[in-house]
């Protein structure tokens, strides 16, 4: 794998991947859904599916994490043309930020207008319970503070402007629609709204780090999502973000609790049907 500072994709490379996909499927998605750890079941809800292994798609990375199966699935969800990523890419797998975000620009070239991102996250907010679903209203981009922003380097105006706004990264109307849908589906009792903070991983947070993030105003913490959102907004896509709170962070030195990936996957099994129901009914309103 090339060093992070060396890898740049050209417009033509993104377009070549998009063209390959359009040649191999008749679906023309308007909504893209990125499924987080253990949440790939969202793709199983699609009808008239066409699935591609990541390894078969030109220039697509491969997912190496348990709970990320590594398929791109096209189909219809509640009558809406969609494409789902069953598994995403992360810094901690050794990928540079351009590779982590590669699919989002491909989605843009496919004609996608709305991106729904889901993730498994640790709850920093003391009022959150394991199994809550958090609507992301804003994010804190910790890798970005260190210069790891997917928009660094030459800007291609065919994707977006040099200095895109991020104060409206998570679409207000989509969040309102999600709240209304959650109420209709009986999910509002465990629906939260808050700020997501991204760290690079793969280690879970220290107690001191959790306390710092709480002081900064973060409600949940994870290892993904933000770079994809930044690229999506650069391309002009509307974004809705959903975090499934799979564990409470350890912020007490006297606690004997320890975060672990098995716990994350177990929680997604318990709440995944609720999240799937929420997303599928929300998508039906986007037609």
Which of the residues are catalytic?
37, 68, 90, 92-93, 120, 223-224, 247, 261
Please state, in angstroms and as integers, the Cα–Cα distance from residue 245 to each residue in 6, 57, 191, following that order: 35, 32, 10
CA–CA distance, 160 with 235 (Å, rounded to integer): 5
Please, where are the H alpha helices in 146-252?
172-184, 207-216, 226-234
* Three-state SS at 282: helix
Instruction: Say how far apart CA 97 and CA 4 lie, in whole Å.
Output: 7
Residue 80 β-bridge partners: 77
3-state secondary structure of 267: helix
Cis peptide bond upstream of 54, omega within 30: no
Closest CA to 226 of 94, 154, 136: 136
Q: Name 110's Cβ contacts closer than 8 Å, sequence gap at least 6.
A: 18, 21, 22, 28, 29, 32, 83
Helical (H) or strand (E) element with 112: none
Closest CA to 22 of 80, 114, 108, 99: 108
Kind and range of the H or E run holding 223: none
Residue 149 to residue 151: CA distance in whole angstroms: 5
């Amino acid at each position: 794998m090339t060093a992070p500072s060396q890898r740049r994709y050209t417009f033509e490379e993104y377009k070549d991947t998009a063209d390959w996909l359009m040649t191999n499927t008749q679906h023309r998605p308007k909504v893209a859904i990125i499924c987080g750890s253990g949440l790939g079941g969202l793709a199983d809800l699609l009808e008239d599916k066409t699935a591609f292994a990541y390894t078969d798609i030109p220039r697509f990375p491969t997912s190496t994490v348990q709970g990320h199966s590594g398929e791109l699935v096209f189909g219809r969800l509640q009558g809406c043309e969609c494409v789902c990523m069953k598994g995403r890419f992360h810094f901690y797998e050794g990928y540079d930020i351009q590779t982590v975000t590669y699919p989002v620009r491909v989605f843009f070239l496919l004609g996608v207008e709305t991106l729904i991102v889901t993730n498994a996250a640790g709850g920093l907010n003391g009022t959150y319970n394991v199994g809550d679903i958090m609507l992301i209203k804003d994010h804190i981009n910790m890798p970005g503070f260190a210069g790891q922003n997917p928009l660094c380097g030459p800007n291609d105006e065919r994707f977006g402007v040099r200095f895109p706004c991020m104060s409206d990264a998570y679409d207000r109307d989509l969040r309102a629609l999600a709240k209304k849908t959650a109420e209709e589906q009986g999910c509002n009792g465990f629906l939260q709204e808050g700020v997501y903070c991204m760290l690079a991983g793969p280690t879970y947070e220290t107690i001191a780090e959790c306390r710092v993030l709480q002081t900064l105003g973060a409600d949940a913490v994870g290892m993904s999502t933000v770079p994809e959102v930044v690229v999506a907004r650069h391309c002009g896509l509307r974004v809705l973000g959903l975090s499934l709170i799979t564990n409470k962070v350890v912020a007490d030195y006297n606690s004997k609790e320890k975060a672990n990936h098995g716990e994350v996957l177990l929680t997604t099994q318990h709440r995944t049907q609720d999240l799937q129901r929420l997303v599928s009914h929300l998508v039906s309103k986007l037609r």
